[in-house]
Structure 1
C-alpha cells in the first residue's frame, strides 16, 4: 500500500550508473548456486474488479452504476483457466472488510464516514473488521463468509493456493469488529487513551487533541457527508503523529502499536508481549483455519521485525505450510526481515523492478541487473518476489510507464528466469491493461483504481461473459497473452529455471564486438539435467549481432568441456538450432526488444 502517498519509509534507490566489470571481482562468484526452488507463480486478482462485466465506467460511479465483481464470479472455469495459464497461487486482494462509502447498514454493518474513506468503494488497506469479508463481494450479504469459503474451496479444487492480505500496520479510522469470535476484544477496547504511548495499548494517542480531517478531502456527488469526530486523535497509519494529517498521508487509517515508542527514540517494549501481537496472531490463525494458504503482508517493514520473528513461527506451529510475503522497500532491512523476521519472500521492488523499469522506458543500463544479484539479493535471490506490475505500480502499457505492453518481453523473461525465486503477475498484465481515464479518487494516474467501482475493458475481453477463454481479445492481446503463457510454461517445466544455478556472462562480454553491454544481458541457468543460455536485448530500436563469449570457467561450472562441440536448440519463441565450438562462442542475431533462450547439449 504505497500509492497516493509521498511518505514511504526507507526507500533506497538503486543507482542507474554502472561501471563495466572487466573481470569477476574476488568478492563475488560470477555464478549464484541456489539449488532450492521457490519458483511459485502468484497471480494477483483485485477481487472487486475481476468479475465485473459492467461497462458503464462513470467517474465516481456507485456500486450499482459501475458494478462490482463477486466471489461467485471467480468460477471453477476461471480458476481452471488460470491454472492452465501457469499459476500456482492466487492472491485475492481486498477480501477483508474495509471502509467504504457504500451503505450496508441495512445488514447491520455500521456506516462509514466519507471524510475518512478514499473513493466510493474504499481502500482495501483501511481494514474495518479483521474478522469479516467485504460485503461488496457477496451476492447474498448475510452469507458473505460462506461465499468466500466456497471460493477458497474452488481454488483448492483447481490446485491453486490462496493468498490474502495481512494489513498489520494500520486499520480504518472507524475500525470496529462486529464479527469477531466470542471472547475476542477489539483493538483499542482496553486502551488507556490518556497517554500517547503504552506498550499494551493498540493505538497511539494525542491526548487533548481532536482529529481534524485534512483539507480538500473529496466527497463524491450523491454521497451524504456528515461530521467526523475522533477525540483524542490517534496517530495516522504512515507514522504521522499529528492531529491533522495531509491528504497525501494515509489519513483514512490509524497506526497500530506493536510496542515501539516512536516519540521517544523508537524505544522497544516487547516484554511482556504487547496486546497487538497477540491479537494479530489470532487474526492470522483465524484466516489460516479457513483454508488460506498464505499472506501478503502490507508494508511489513513498518512493523518491527521482532513481531514477525515471533508470529510467523507461531502460525507455522499450527499451519506449517503457510507462506508469508513481505511488502518491503528498504534493502538494508532485507536480511532482518528474512532471517530474524522469518519471512518466506520479500518484494523485489527497489532492485530488479526499478532496474527493469528503466530499461523498459529506454533509459536504463543492464549493469543494474548485475548489481541487483550482487549487492541486494545476495544469497537469498531465491526468496525475492519478482514482478513488473501490482496494484501500487503503473500499468506497463500506460503513458506513465512503457507505453507498450510488448516492451515487457525481455524484462518479464528476466523476472521469471533470473533465479529460482517466485514470480508475480497482476491481473490483466498479460492482456495489456491500459488505464486512460480518471475513475474517481485516484484520478488518471496510469494505475487500475484501488478505490473505486470500475470495469476493466481489456480484462472483460478475456472473461468474455464468463467463458474465460479470451474470445473478445484483439489479435495483439492474444499474441501478448500467448507470450506470457509460453513463458510460464517454460518457467514451470524447465529444470534449470526451477532448480538451477545462475551465471552472469556480462563480465565476459563487455568488449565483445557488436555486444551492447548497456542494453544486452546474457546469463546461464544450469543443473546436471539442463543447461540454458539466455540472451536479452533491451534496446527498443536497435537489433544486435554478436558472438557471445562463454569463458572456460563458465563451461567448467556447468560440468562441460571448454573445448567441446555443442548444439544449441532454441526453446522459446523462435525455434532454431545452432552448432558451435565452445572456444569460438555463440553467434547470435537479436531483433530489437527480444529474447533468445537456448538449451545447450553435447553435439552428437
Structure 2
C-alpha cells in the first residue's frame, strides 16, 4: 500500500485561500505576487489538527479559476513563481508534510497555445472549403456544427474548456512529462481532475510511464459515480473520490435516515477489496457540509463517520471551522465555498474553534490506529435515527465500536475493543 494513502489530507483551493483575483480583468491583476508564501504560515495549523498531507487545487498558469490551464510548466503569477513554489515545497518537506497537486488533464483553457494553433488551422481549412477534422497526433478535435460553424470537443459544453484528444500520442507525452517534471521538483502525489471522463486506456498508458520515473507516485482520480473498482483496475489509478459516501453522510444525518448510510457503507466495504477510497465531507465543488446539515450537533457526527471508516480522509479548508457556504450555478457560483483565509491562523475568528478541536481529536484517534485505513464496518444496530457499527481491522487484531444517536441531543460514543467505557464521547455542546 502506497504511503500517501495513509495520510490525512488538508485540501486548499489556493487562488481563493490566498486572495488572488479569480477572474482578473487587467494586467495589474495578473502580475506576479508570491501569494503561495501565505500557505507556509498555515502548515503548523494543519499539522496541529492532525493532517500530514497538503492537497492543493490548481496552481499552474490559467485564464481564470485554475481549471482552464494555459501553461502546465509555470506557476500562475497570481500565486507567485517557481521560487515561491520551491519555498512551499521546502517548508512542507521540512515538516514531513506530503504535497499533492491538482492535475487538470482532461481539458485546458482557450488560450492554451496549441489549441489556438490548431483552431487557426481548422478555421483556415473551413474557409478554404477543405474537410475539417484532425490527424492522429492533433491534440484537439474539430468538426463542423449543424449550422456550418466550427465546433470542437469541450468539457461539459463549456466553450472556455477545450477537451484534449486523448488518443493523440502528443497528449500522452505532455501529461507524462508534466507530472514527472513536478514530481522531480518535490511533488508527492496527483489529484487527477475529471479523471473518469478521460478514457481508462489513456491513464493506463500514462501512469505506468510516470511510475517508471517516479516509483512512489500516487494518483487520486476524481470520480462522481460509476463502477469505481473497475475504473481503478482499468486505469491503474490508485484511488478515487468517494462521492457516494460523501452524499450518504450528510443526507442520512440531515434526514434522520441511517439506512442510507448503512447501504453505502456496505458498498464502501466492497470498494476496499480493490482500493482505498479517498473519503471526504467537503471539497471545492460542493455546498459545505455545515450548510447541508445546518445542525452543529449533527455536523460533529459527520466528522465521526469520516474518521472512523476505512479510506484516505481529507478535510477541506473551512470545514475544520464549521464554515458555511452554498454552491450555486453560474459564473462565481463556487466563490463562496472557495474563500480567502487571513495571513495567519491567529487572525481567524473564534467561531468554529470547537470543530477544529474535534477534528484534531478524531484525526489523532485515527493516526494512532493505522489499521483503520482499510478497516471494514459491520452494523450492530440500525434504526432511522440510531446507528451503531463495529470498525474491524482486516486481520481481526483490533476493533472500535461506534454508536450514534440523533434523538434528543445528537451524540456519538466510540469504544475500543470490548470496553464498557467510551474512548471518546462526541457531543457538540461538550466540546
User: TM class by shorter-chain length?
Assistant: 0.7 to 0.9
Q: Show CA shifts across 1:113-155 (max 9, x none).
A: xxxxxxxxx22111111111111012xxxxx112112211111
1:291 to 180, 186, 191: 186
Mapping 1:78-227, distance limit 5 Å: 78-99=42-63, 122-138=64-80, 144-176=81-113, 186=114, 193=122, 194-207=131-144
Mapping 1:72-471, distance limit 5 Å: 72-75=37-40, 77-99=41-63, 122-138=64-80, 144-176=81-113, 186=114, 193=122, 194-207=131-144, 232-238=150-156, 249-259=157-167, 274-332=169-227, 334-349=228-243, 351-374=244-267, 377-380=270-273, 383-398=276-291, 401-419=292-310, 421-435=311-325, 441-443=331-333, 447-449=336-338, 456=340, 459-460=341-342, 465-466=343-344, 468-469=345-346
Contact 2:252 2:260 in 1 (8 A): no
- TM-score norm. by structure 1 comes to 0.61
- In the alignment, the residues of structure 2 paired with residue 161 and residue 233 of structure 1 have an alpha-carbon distance, to the nearest angstrom, of 41
- Greater share of residues in helix: 2
Gaps of 5+ in 2: 123-130
Contact 1:199 1:258 in 2 (8 A): no
Gaps of 5+ in 1: 1-33, 100-121, 139-143, 177-185, 212-230, 239-248, 260-272, 450-454, 511-515, 549-557, 559-565, 575-590, 596-604
- In the alignment, the residues of structure 2 paired with residue 375 and residue 49 of structure 1 have an alpha-carbon distance, to the nearest angstrom, of 32
- TM-score norm. by structure 2 comes to 0.83
CA pair 187-356 structure 1, distance change in 2 beyond 3 A: same
Partner of 1:45: 12
Q: CA deviation at 1:493?
A: 0.9
Kindly indicate whether structure 1 or structure 2 has the higher relative contact order, using CA contacts under 8 Å at least 6 residues apart: 1
Q: Rg: which structure is higher?
A: 1
Partner of 1:535: 403
**Alignment: residue pair count:** 417
Q: CA deviation at 1:428?
A: 1.1
